[in-house]
């Protein structure tokens, strides 16, 4: 049941993100990418299986038994992904601001649609 809830949540995050990604304004795209980043991070994280109350921290200073702990590998991958996500958001935001200064619009194409 927990899996279904989380899967639904991931789906909604990703769906909202994709919708925003297809919008014409740059700020919408930034928010959309952040939402997709959440969804993808949760998705990768959930690949290790959901377990509560079993953080991957060894109880004793010996070799651990893999069955006792949540899967540490997806967690390590997602941890770096979160930090890199911040860096890309920052870079994207600054590129957006620079493009806005140069073109005078916040449209993703750099010019307003003629219509």
Partner 1 sequence: MRLLVCIAFAAALGSLYAGGFVPGRLAPTGFDPAFALVWAIGIVCAVGAAYQAKFHRLASLILLAGAGLVTCVTFVWMSAPDLALTQLVVDTVTTVLLLLGLRWLPKRIEDPDARASFGRAFRPRRLVDLAIAIAAGAGLSALAYVAMTQPVPDSISRYFVEHAYTKGGGTNIVNVILVDFRGFDTFGEITVLGVVALAVYALLRRFRPAPESVDIPEQQRVQDAFDDADPDRRRGDSIAHSMMTPALIMRLLFPAIGMFAVFLLLRGHDLPGGGFVAGLTMAVAFILQYMAGGTTWVEARLRVLPVRWMGLGLSVAALTGAGAWFFLHPFLTSHFFYLELPLIGAVPFATALLFDIGVFLLVVGATVLILIALGHQSVRAQRAALLRTPEPAAQAIAKQ
**Can residue 106 be called a binding residue for partner 1 (CB under 8 A)?**
yes
**Can residue 33 be called a binding residue for partner 1 (CB under 8 A)?**
no
Q: Say how far apart CA 114 and CA 33 lie, in whole Å.
A: 27
**Can residue 3 be called a binding residue for partner 1 (CB under 8 A)?**
yes
Site size with partner 1, rule: CB under 8 A: 91
Residues in the chain: 115
The tokens for 39 are 């969804």
**Can residue 87 be called a binding residue for partner 1 (CB under 8 A)?**
yes
Q: Say how far apart CA 59 and CA 76 lie, in whole Å.
A: 19
**Contacting partner 1 within 37-76 (CB under 8 A):** 38-39, 41-43, 45-58, 61-66, 69-73, 75-76
The tokens for 71 are 């899967």
Nearer to partner 1, 88 or 111 (CB): 88
Q: Say how far apart CA 41 and CA 80 lie, in whole Å.
A: 10
What's the closest the beta carbon of residue 86 comes to partner 1, in angstroms? 5
Q: Of residues 7, 110, 111, 112, which one binds partner 1 by CB under 8 A?
A: 7
């Amino acid at each position: 049941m927990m899996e279904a809830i989380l899967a639904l949540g991931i789906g909604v995050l990703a769906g909202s993100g994709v919708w925003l990604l297809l919008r014409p304004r740059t700020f919408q795209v930034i928010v959309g990418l952040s939402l997709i980043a959440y969804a993808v991070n949760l998705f990768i994280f959930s690949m290790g299986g959901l377990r509560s109350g079993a953080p991957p921290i060894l109880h004793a200073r010996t070799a651990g038994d893999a069955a006792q702990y949540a899967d540490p590998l997806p967690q390590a991958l997602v941890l770096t992904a979160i930090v890199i996500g911040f860096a890309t958001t920052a870079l994207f935001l600054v590129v957006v601001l620079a493009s806005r200064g140069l073109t005078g619009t916040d449209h993703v194409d750099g010019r307003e649609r003629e219509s």
